[in-house]
C-alpha cells in the first residue's frame, strides 16, 4: 500500500494539482444522502494489490467533468465492505478520472462516467455533475489516510471550504453593492424630496441616489458588505495566528513550546466558533445585499442585461452547499459553543472587550459601543439559557438556531464596525489627512453607525423573542400544512 500509492503517486498527484495541471473535486453528496452523509451507498471493495474497487453515484459535484484539464482527481467518500453503518464507517479514496503510472503518465479511463449535468438556478459557469463510479466494475481508488477516517479527513478540507464559501458570499455582496451604487448615481428620475415637499415648479430631475429610500438601501448594502468582509478576514486572521504558533514550534528550537501550544489551541478554538458563522451569516446577509441591489435598480434589476440579477442567482447556492446554513446553525449551537465547556465561545466574547473599551472613550462612538457590548452580552446569556432548555424544551433552541446564529453575526459584525469606526475617527480628525481621505473615513464611520444602530441594535429584542416557549412549528399537525 505504502509503495503503491502513498509514496510516489501521492507526490505526483499533489504536484499536478498544486500546479493547476490537474483539477480536483470533492465527491461527498449522493442522490439519497445529501446532508445525511452517513446514509451513503458508495462502496469500496478491497483488491489484492492494496487498491479498492469503487462503485456508487455522487451528485452535485462541482467541476465533476470537463475538458479543461487532462485529468481530474476525485476524493470519494465510500464505505469499505463490512465496515459499520453511519459516519464512523466511512473512508475516503483518491479516485482519478484517468489512471496514471508512477511517472505521472496518463493511461486508460478509470470507469468514471458523467451521467448528468445539473440545470441550476445560477453559477452556470460551473459544471455541476452527477457522476457514476464503477458501472463496469473497473473503477480503482486509493485509500487516503486510515480506514474509517473519511469524515475527519474530509472536514480538514470542508471547514476551510466553508470559510471560502462565506468569502464568496461577501465578495458577491460587495460586487452587487458597487454595481448598484454606480447605477444609482447615473439613473435620473424624480425630483429632490425637498423640492417636492415645497412644490418647487420646474424642479430638475435628480439621480435616484438623492432619494432617501435609495440611500437607505445603499448604506445598508455598504455596511453589510464591508462588515462581511471584515468577518471573513477575522477568521483568516485567526488561521494565520494558529499556523504561526504551529510553525514557530516546529522551526524554532528555542521556542517556548508549551506557550505556543496554548496559542495554537486558543486560535484553533476561535476558528471553530467563527467557521459556521462565517459560512452561514455571510451568505444569508450576502443574499440580503443582492436582493437590495436588484431592488435599487427598480424593474431593470430584474432583467438579465444588468449584472445584479445574475449575482442574486449565483449567491443563492452559497447558503446551500458545503452544509446548509441550517446545519451550520445546529453545529454552532449544538457543538461549537459548548466545546471545551464553553471556553472557546468565552474567549471569542472576551476578545471583543478591548475594542469596545477603546470606542467607549470616543464621545461620538459611546452610544454604538454600548449597543455592541449589550448585544454580545445577550448572545452569551442566550447561549447559556438555550443549553438549559435542551433537556426541557429542546424544540425552542432548535427552531431558533438559525436566528440565533444570525443574531451572533449581527453582534460580531457590529463589533467589527466599531473597530473600523474607531480607527476611521482617528484618521478623520488627523490634520494630515487629505479631504479625499476624509470622505473615505466618513463613509466608514457612517456605515458603522448605520449597521450598529439599525441591525446590531435589534439583536436583544430578537433574542428575547427566540427564548419564548413558542413551538407552533412543531405543534402544527402534518395535514394542517395544506394550502388555503
| CATH code of the domain containing 213 | 1.20.140.10
Tell me which of 132, 148, 164 is where a domain ends. Answer: 148
Smallest CA-to-CA distance from 169 within 224, 216, 99, 127 is with 224
One domain for residues 356 and 375: yes
Buried b (16+ CB within 10 A) or exposed e, 460-484: bebbeebbeeeeeeeeeeeeeeeee
One domain for residues 91 and 200: no
One domain for residues 138 and 161: no
Q: What is the pLDDT of residue 423?
A: 98
One domain for residues 169 and 306: yes
Tell me which of 319, 337, 362 is where a domain ends. Answer: 319
One domain for residues 132 and 168: no
DSSP string over 104-124: --EEEE-SEEEEEE---SS-T
Q: Is residue 291 part of a domain?
A: yes
pTM: 0.92
Residues paired with 33 in a beta bridge: 30
Q: Is residue 326 part of a domain?
A: no
Q: Is residue 194 part of a domain?
A: yes
Q: Is residue 252 part of a domain?
A: yes
Tell me which of 92, 113, 148 is where a domain ends. Answer: 148
User: What's phi and psi for 191, nearest 5 deg?
Assistant: -90, 160
One domain for residues 168 and 136: no
One domain for residues 144 and 158: no
Please list the ranges in the chain whose pLDDT falls under 70: 1-7, 34, 484
Asked whether the CA dihedral 306, 311, 314, 316 is positive or negative, the reply is negative
Q: Is residue 338 part of a domain?
A: no
- CATH code, domain carrying 18: 2.40.110.20
One domain for residues 165 and 69: no
> How many angstroms separate the CA atoms of 296 and 185, rounded?
11
Q: Is residue 74 part of a domain?
A: yes
* 157 alpha-carbon distance from chain centroid: 13
Cβ proximity of 325 and 402 under 8 Å: yes
One domain for residues 217 and 306: yes
Q: Is residue 6 part of a domain?
A: yes
One domain for residues 104 and 223: no
Cβ proximity of 349 and 376 under 8 Å: yes
Q: Are strands 43-46 and 72-80 parallel, antiparallel or unpaired?
A: parallel
One domain for residues 399 and 296: no
One domain for residues 360 and 213: no
> How does pLDDT run across 158-213, given as a tens digit for each residue?
888 999 999 999 999 999 999 999 999 999 998 888 888 888 888 899 999 999 99
The single residue listed with the C-alpha cell 466608514 is 444
* Catalytic residue list: 322
Q: Is residue 343 part of a domain?
A: no
> How many angstroms separate the CA atoms of 391 and 309, rounded?
45
Q: Which domain holds residue 412?
A: 352-481
Overall number of domains in the chain? 3
Q: What is the pLDDT of residue 484?
A: 64
DSSP E strands in 110-162: the ranges are: 112-117, 128-133, 140-143
> How many angstroms separate the CA atoms of 40 and 29, rounded?
8
Asked whether the CA dihedral 440, 306, 123, 281 is positive or negative, the reply is positive
Amino acid at each position: 500500500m505504502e509503495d503503491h500509492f502513498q509514496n510516489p503517486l501521492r507526490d505526483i498527484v499533489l504536484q499536478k494539482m498544486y500546479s493547476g495541471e490537474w483539477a480536483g473535486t470533492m465527491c461527498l453528496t449522493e442522490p439519497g444522502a445529501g446532508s445525511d452523509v452517513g446514509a451513503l451507498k458508495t462502496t469500496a471493495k478491497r483488491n489484492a494489490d492494496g487498491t479498492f474497487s469503487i462503485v456508487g453515484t455522487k451528485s452535485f459535484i462541482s467541476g465533476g467533468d470537463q475538458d479543461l484539464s487532462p485529468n481530474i482527481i476525485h476524493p470519494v467518500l465510500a464505505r469499505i465492505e463490512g465496515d459499520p453503518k453511519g459516519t464512523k464507517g466511512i473512508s475516503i479514496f483518491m479516485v482519478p478520472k484517468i489512471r496514471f503510472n508512477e511517472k505521472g503518465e496518463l493511461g486508460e479511463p478509470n470507469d468514471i462516467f458523467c451521467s448528468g449535468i445539473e440545470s441550476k438556478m445560477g453559477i452556470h459557469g460551473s459544471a455541476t455533475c452527477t457522476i457514476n463510479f464503477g458501472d463496469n466494475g473497473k473503477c480503482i481508488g486509493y485509500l487516503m489516510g486510515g480506514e474509517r477516517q473519511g469524515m475527519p479527513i474530509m472536514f480538514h478540507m470542508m471547514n476551510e471550504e466553508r470559510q471560502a464559501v462565506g468569502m464568496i458570499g461577501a465578495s458577491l455582496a460587495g460586487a452587487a453593492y458597487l454595481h448598484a451604487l454606480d447605477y444609482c448615481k447615473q439613473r435620473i428620475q424624480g425630483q429632490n424630496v425637498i423640492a417636492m415637499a415645497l412644490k418647487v415648479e420646474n424642479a430638475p430631475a435628480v439621480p435616484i441616489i438623492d432619494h432617501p429610500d435609495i440611500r437607505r438601501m445603499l448604506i445598508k448594502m455598504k455596511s453589510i458588505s464591508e462588515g462581511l468582509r471584515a468577518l471573513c478576514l477575522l477568521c483568516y486572521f485567526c488561521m494565520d495566528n494558529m499556523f504561526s504558533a504551529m510553525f514557530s514550534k516546529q522551526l524554532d528550537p528555542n521556542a517556548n513550546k508549551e506557550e505556543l501550544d496554548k496559542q495554537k489551541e486558543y486560535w484553533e478554538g476561535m476558528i471553530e466558533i467563527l467557521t459556521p458563522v462565517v459560512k452561514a451569516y455571510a451568505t444569508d446577509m450576502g443574499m440580503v445585499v443582492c436582493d437590495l441591489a436588484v431592488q435599487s435598480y427598480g424593474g431593470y434589476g430584474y432583467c438579465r442585461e444588468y449584472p445584479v440579477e445574475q449575482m442574486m442567482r449565483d449567491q443563492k447556492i452559497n447558503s446551500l452547499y458545503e452544509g446548509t446554513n441550517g446545519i451550520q446553525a445546529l453545529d454552532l449551537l449544538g457543538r461549537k459553543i459548548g466545546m471545551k465547556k464553553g471556553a472557546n465561545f468565552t474567549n471569542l466574547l472576551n476578545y471583543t472587550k478591548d475594542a469596545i473599551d477603546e470606542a467607549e472613550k470616543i464621545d461620538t462612538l459611546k452610544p454604538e459601543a454600548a449597543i455592541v457590548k449589550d448585544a454580545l452580552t445577550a448572545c452569551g446569556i442566550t447561549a447559556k439559557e438555550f443549553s438549559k432548555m435542551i433537556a426541557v424544551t429542546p424544540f425552542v433552541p432548535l427552531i431558533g438556531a438559525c436566528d440565533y446564529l444570525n443574531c451572533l453575526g449581527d453582534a460580531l459584525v457590529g463589533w467589527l464596525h466599531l473597530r473600523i469606526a474607531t480607527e476611521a475617527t482617528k484618521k478623520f480628525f488627523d490634520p494630515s489627512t487629505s479631504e479625499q481621505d476624509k470622505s473615505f473615513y466618513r463613509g466608514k464611520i457612517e456605515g458603522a453607525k448605520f449597521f450598529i444602530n439599525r441591525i446590531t441594535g435589534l439583536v436583544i429584542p430578537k433574542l428575547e423573542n427566540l427564548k419564548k416557549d413558542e413551538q407552533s412549528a412543531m405543534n402544527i399537525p402534518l395535514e394542517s400544512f395544506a394550502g388555503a
